[in-house]
Amino acid sequence: MPPILTVFERSPDRGRGLARDMRVRWALEEVGQRYDVRTVSFEAMKQAPHRARSPFGQIPTLDDGDLVLFESGAIVLHIAQRHAGLLPAGSDARSRAVMWMFAALNTVEPPIVEREAATWSERGKPWQAEHLAMLDARVRVRLDELSRHLADRDWLEREFSAGDLLMVTVLRRLEGSGLLEAGPSLPDYIARGEARPAYRRAFEAQRTLFESASPP
């Protein structure tokens, strides 16, 4: 039985591949693992049957045999540890790759998500613009730091890893925001990720699902 990935029935990003299942799809494509998809609506995602699998009411989840996992970072690491292709050989190099997974999700992503949340949760507040400027400044600090690290590198370490996979998906949330220019190395880095055949296959799969759920 291939693993089963639970994803949005209709992704709120309208097929742009920004939902967190994209990370897992990409990881599964990198390692050449077929998978099935189960969809969940927004309403069902917050109800008891889904919460029994995902206590915070989120997607994605992965069923792999008897194991049920939530948290996209944990699912990507689980896949990376059971298949070749997402972590380097050598125990020290693996620890460095896993380090970048945590950096993507605990240092780079939080201010990006926070800024994104403020664009809608504070809509109409007279102080939204002032607050967004503060949040933008925090995002720019992280982009500048990351960009310096990537200035003379194609990937975060010597070769592409699950750390790059997560970092690219985190940075993609800023496409169209005008903030990525704070990190001059970052657009090319994202483009290198998006050019990978496994990325393209994952992107098309989620796009096709969105389009079939939303006829024109």
Q: Is 119 in the site for its own copies (CB under 8 A)?
A: no
Q: Is 88 in the site for its own copies (CB under 8 A)?
A: no
**If residue 40 lies in a helix (H) or strand (E), which one and from where to where?**
strand 36-40
Q: Of these, 5, 19, 24, 101, which contacts its own copies (CB under 8 A)? A: 101
Report in angstroms how near the CB of residue 58 gets to its own copies at its nearest.
7
Q: Is 84 in the site for its own copies (CB under 8 A)?
A: no
Residue 18 exposed, middle or buried by CB count within 10 Å (0-12, 13-18, 19+) = middle
Q: Is 149 in the site for its own copies (CB under 8 A)?
A: yes
DSSP state of 41: -
8: left (phi over 0), alpha (psi -120 to 50) or beta: beta
- Per DSSP, helices labelled H in 8-54 are 21-31, 42-45, 48-51
As a whole number of angstroms, the longest Cα–Cα distance in the chain is 53
Q: Of these, 12, 74, 200, 213, which contacts its own copies (CB under 8 A)? A: 74
Q: Is 185 in the site for its own copies (CB under 8 A)?
A: no
Beta-carbon-side half-sphere exposure of residue 12 (alpha carbons within 13 Å): 7
Q: Near its own copies by CB under 8 A, which window of 30-38, 143-151, 176-184, 194-202? A: 143-151
Specify which residues 7 forms β-bridges with: 39
Q: Identify which of residues 38 and 82 has a Cβ nearer to its own copies in the complex.
A: 82
**Orientation angle between helical segments 21-31 and 72-82, nearest 10 degrees:** 10
Report in angstroms how near the CB of residue 67 gets to its own copies at its nearest.
4
Give the binding site for its own copies (CB under 8 A).
51, 55-58, 65-67, 69-75, 77-78, 81, 92, 95-96, 98-99, 101-103, 105-107, 109-110, 113-114, 121-122, 125-127, 130-131, 134, 142, 145-146, 148-149
